[in-house]
């Protein structure tokens, strides 16, 4: 049977499909639902034809590159996430022309939309579309092994609880504001999205026990070939046929390519993971399904409550929107500093 076919390691084809769908659902949830960009997305044909698969393909593609090049630390994942976020140039053109139907909030700098570019490429997609879904996938797998360097963020410390609650609040703020106070739409969007994730999760743990881990997202040569072909077709079609009038000028396109080179150099300089395989967890208190359910409940309650105070919601939203612009730039600066610090400690260079 096809489900018993081994595609990599001990993970069957059927299990791998479920895990990939789950990873895609998590990326869609944290990226689009938390931003309020896709209200009731599961009831729209565009989401099922394009948006869902766009997030799934990017997450799976870049986590596989992270596996292949042995760069799965949080620093490396952030840089892979910047690559992820750059799709907003070629496909949606947001980083060049601002959100669809509007102009850049602060105009253009070298053809890039500000503050959209740093907010989306340097914060939202690296964190919300990539790192948080990957960490959540690790939590949901229930495995005793995680990717190198992830233990510090998955341990239940006061700092990590504060970060998790802040993310829940930000998601509730953006979702309720973009739903214009429609608490029914907010609640149905959250419940529907979580229901999809819950169904995929249940199938993963009940039908395919013992195969669920972050490494179950690894693809073989055939899988990667199909994925690359899909992404190439998506980028080419979207670049020429989706909002072509919002395409950046030649200099901006060239600078976008330069950004890819710079991020690639940073990934190279960051070096391979110190640990060859996933880490065996020590006896520490780690985030698990119980904590995940608590955080989702907090998100649901906050999003519902904020739907009834939209004027306040909008004021706070603008504060955090501008703050995230600065956070994105700060994250990139910190990442560069972290990479260079690592180089000083390891002058022999990356491996």
Supply the pLDDT for residue 8. Answer: 42
Q: Residue 233's pLDDT band (boundaries 50, 70, 90)?
A: very high
Give domain status of residue 119, yes or no: yes
Distances 253 to 14, 100, 146, 248, 316 between C-alpha atoms, Å = 40, 19, 37, 6, 34
Mind listing the pLDDT tens digit for each residue in 192-218?
999 999 999 999 999 987 888 899 999
Give domain status of residue 148, yes or no: yes
Supply the pLDDT for residue 2. Answer: 35
Give domain status of residue 23, yes or no: yes
CB 122 within 8 A of CB 167: no
Mind listing the pLDDT tens digit for each residue in 105-160?
788 999 999 989 999 999 999 999 999 999 999 999 886 667 888 988 999 999 99
- Percent of the chain beyond pLDDT 70? 91
Q: Say how many domains are in the chain.
A: 1
Average pLDDT, the chain: 90
Supply the pLDDT for residue 164. Answer: 97
Mind listing the pLDDT tens digit for each residue in 35-65?
999 999 999 999 999 999 999 999 999 999 9
Q: Which residue, among 38, 228, 18, has the nearest Cα to 137 in the 3D structure?
A: 18
Mind listing the pLDDT tens digit for each residue in 66-88?
999 999 999 999 999 999 999 99
CB-based burial, 147-156: b 16+ in 10 Å, e otherwise: bbbbeebbee
Give domain status of residue 221, yes or no: yes
What is the per-residue DSSP string for 8-66? ETTEEHHHHHHHHHHHHHHHHIIIIITTTSSTTGGG-HHIIIIIHHHHHHHHHHHHHHH
Q: Which domain holds residue 321?
A: 2-345
C-alpha 203/C-alpha 184 separation (Å) is: 28
Give domain status of residue 245, yes or no: yes
Give domain status of residue 351, yes or no: no
Q: Is pTM, for the whole model, over 0.85?
A: yes
Supply the pLDDT for residue 66. Answer: 96
Mind listing the pLDDT tens digit for each residue in 257-285?
999 999 999 999 998 887 645 555 555 68
């Amino acid at each position: 049977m096809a489900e018993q076919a081994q595609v990599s390691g001990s993970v069957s084809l059927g299990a791998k499909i479920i895990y990939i769908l789950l990873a895609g659902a998590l990326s869609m949830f944290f990226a689009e639902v938390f931003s309020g960009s896709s209200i009731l997305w599961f009831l729209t044909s565009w989401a099922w034809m394009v948006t869902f698969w766009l997030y799934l393909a990017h997450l799976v593609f870049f986590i596989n590159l992270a596996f292949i090049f042995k760069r799965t630390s949080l620093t490396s994942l952030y840089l892979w996430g910047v690559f992820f976020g750059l799709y907003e140039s070629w496909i949606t053109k947001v980083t060049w022309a601002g959100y669809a139907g509007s102009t850049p909030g602060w105009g253009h700098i070298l053809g890039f939309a500000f503050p959209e570019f740093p907010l989306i490429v340097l914060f939202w997609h690296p964190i919300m579309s990539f790192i948080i879904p990957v960490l959540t996938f690790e939590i949901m797998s229930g495995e005793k092994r995680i990717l190198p360097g992830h233990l510090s963020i998955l341990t239940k410390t006061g700092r990590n609880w504060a970060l998790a609650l802040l993310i829940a609040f930000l998601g509730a703020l953006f979702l309720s504001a973009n739903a214009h106070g429609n608490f029914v739409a907010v609640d149905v969007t959250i419940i529907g999205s979580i229901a999809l994730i819950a169904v995929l999760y249940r199938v993963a743990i009940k039908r395919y026990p013992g195969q669920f881990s972050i490494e179950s997202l690894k693809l073989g040569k055939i899988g990667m070939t199909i994925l690359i072909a899909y992404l190439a077709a998506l980028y080419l079609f979207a670049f020429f046929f989706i909002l072509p009038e919002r395409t950046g000028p030649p200099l901006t396109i060239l600078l976008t390519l330069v950004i890819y080179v710079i991020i690639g150099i940073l990934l190279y300089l960051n070096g391979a993971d110190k640990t060859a395989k996933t880490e065996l967890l020590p006896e520490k208190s780690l985030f698990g399904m119980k904590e995940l359910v608590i955080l989702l409940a907090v998100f649901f309650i906050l999003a519902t409550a904020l739907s009834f105070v939209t004027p306040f919601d909008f004021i706070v939203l603008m504060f955090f929107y501008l703050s995230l612009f600065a956070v994105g730039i700060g994250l990139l600066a910190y990442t560069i500093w972290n990479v260079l610090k690592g180089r000083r400690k390891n002058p022999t260079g990356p491996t």
